[in-house]
Amino acid sequence: MATSRTATDRIGLRYGIYTGIAMSIYFLILNLFGLQNIEEIRFLNHIFIGIGVIMAILKVKRVNDGSISYLKGLGIGFVIGLVSSIIYGIFIYLYMTLIGQEYQNTLRTQDYFGSDISPIVQFASITLLGVVGGAFVAYILMMLYDKSGGDTSASKHLNV
């Protein structure tokens, strides 16, 4: 049973939402323990993007009788990275503007974009990093899961 494009898009969207929520919950847990200012621990939330991409690609493979095309896998990674990072970016934006204005000052001292980082710039950087991360994880996974690259059966029929 082959999946349609809309079914694959829905899987990517669903897992992107799950991933964005997981990243937001992880940030709240870090706040609960007072670890939100430790850059290395905070960066671990990007592992959730990798987990979301892996789970979505495995789901599409399961629905698609064990196969997935290379571009479909890359697309899933892109969608999950985009959706999850937009959700997480909105969450961080709301957190910095409504709840934790001191968190914005902490990010300014880490000097990612100079000393004048606004919540909008932070949202944009989260979104960009999430999209790149999701696409990168999908790219790596599709090297493992796409089996069409080594198929030489077509060239045998052409006497090449």
pLDDT in tens, 27-84: 899 888 988 777 788 788 889 999 999 999 889 888 877 778 888 888 899 999 999 9
- Of the pLDDT bands very low, low, confident and very high (cuts 50, 70, 90), residue 4 is low
Are 77 and 135 contacting, i.e. CB atoms less than 8 angstroms apart? yes
Q: Is the pLDDT of residue 19 over 90?
A: yes
Other CB atoms within 10 Å distance of the CB of residue 25: 13
pTM: 0.79
